Amino acid sequence: QAQLVESGGGLVQPGGSLRLSCAASGFTLDDYAIGWFRQAPGKEREGVSCISSSEGSTDADSVKGRFTISRDNAKNTVYLQMNSLKPEDTAVYYCAAGDERGIGRDYSGRSCFAQYEYDYWGQGTQVTVSS
């Protein structure tokens, strides 16, 4: 059974760092684009960062220069390194996997933030930035 499991969330002070992990089981990530999304209370879920199978990445303007997405296919895991965290980064963070071999799939640039392009979703991990 295909599954994504996020970990690494928690409470951190403003300016601090966290590294989120997204581990896949039941399938291999080699041909999948991976997206990190987040949803704050009362807001819609939004794209944060995404990475293609060829390791091209895209970041939302709100996190550019602070967040870095990376993948380790040998470990079947994708990471989101979050630095210089702000209170407005507080949200539940989700990872999602989309099969790039799908007909018509497009994960280039900001197209990777289209949530309908993703096949599998994790359950989410809470990130709280507060003093």
pLDDT band at 121 (very low <50, low <70, confident <90, very high): very high
pLDDT at 116: 92
- The predicted structure's pLDDT at residue 104: 83
Whether the CB-CB separation of 41 and 109 falls below 8 Å is answered with: no
pLDDT score of 76? 97
Which pLDDT value is given to residue 38?
98
| pLDDT for 22 beyond 90 | yes
Report pLDDT digits (tens) over 31-85. 999 999 999 999 999 999 999 998 899 999 999 999 999 999 999 999 999 999 9
Sign of CA dihedral 37, 119, 4, 31: negative
How many Å separate Cα 61 from the centre of its chain?
Answer: 15
95-118 pLDDT, tens per residue?
999 999 988 888 888 889 999 999
The phi, psi pair for 30, rounded to 5°, reads -50, -40
Give per-residue pLDDT as tens, 1-15: 999 999 999 999 999
